Amino acid sequence: MVSMDGSQPNSVRLCAHCTDLWTWLVQYQDETVLPECQGTSMPHAAWANVDTARVKNIVLVPRQDGLEQVVVDVGAYSPVFFRRRYKELSINGLQEVSQQNIHCLGYEAADGTGNYVFVFEDGSVLLSTNRNAV
């Protein structure tokens, strides 16, 4: 199981079902943790499984060496997590040239305003108040 310090067994780092460079986990206010991935042989959680009213932190845990863990303290707000997947296609033959996955974690207030951290595949981040910044 992935822990809050980002340590994880090889079964999570090498999970055949996970294709993203990061996996998420949430820490609830009672300090329990729900990880997206616990390894190939274990069921995977979806964001729909998260009890958002109880979330304290959202954590992106890298599955590749050289990337940093990203933590967002949700506080009293509603947590947000989603992935944007962009594919570049060639005009000739419609073959995929490249793909970029961007992870977004953050929080929103009841009025719809929020703060978002967009995490790119190279580990760079963009902080924004615009949910559609990328």
Give pLDDT tens digits for 84-134: 988 777 777 677 677 889 999 999 999 999 999 999 999 999 999 999 999
Q: For position 92, what pLDDT does the model report? A: 76
Give the pLDDT score at 51: 97
Q: Report CA-CA distances (Å) from 111 to 54, 76, 132.
A: 19, 13, 16
> In this predicted structure, what is the pLDDT of residue 75?
92
- Domain locations in the chain? 10-128
CB atoms within 10 A of CB 59: 22
pLDDT at residue 2 is higher than 50: no
The reported pLDDT for the residue numbered 40 is 73
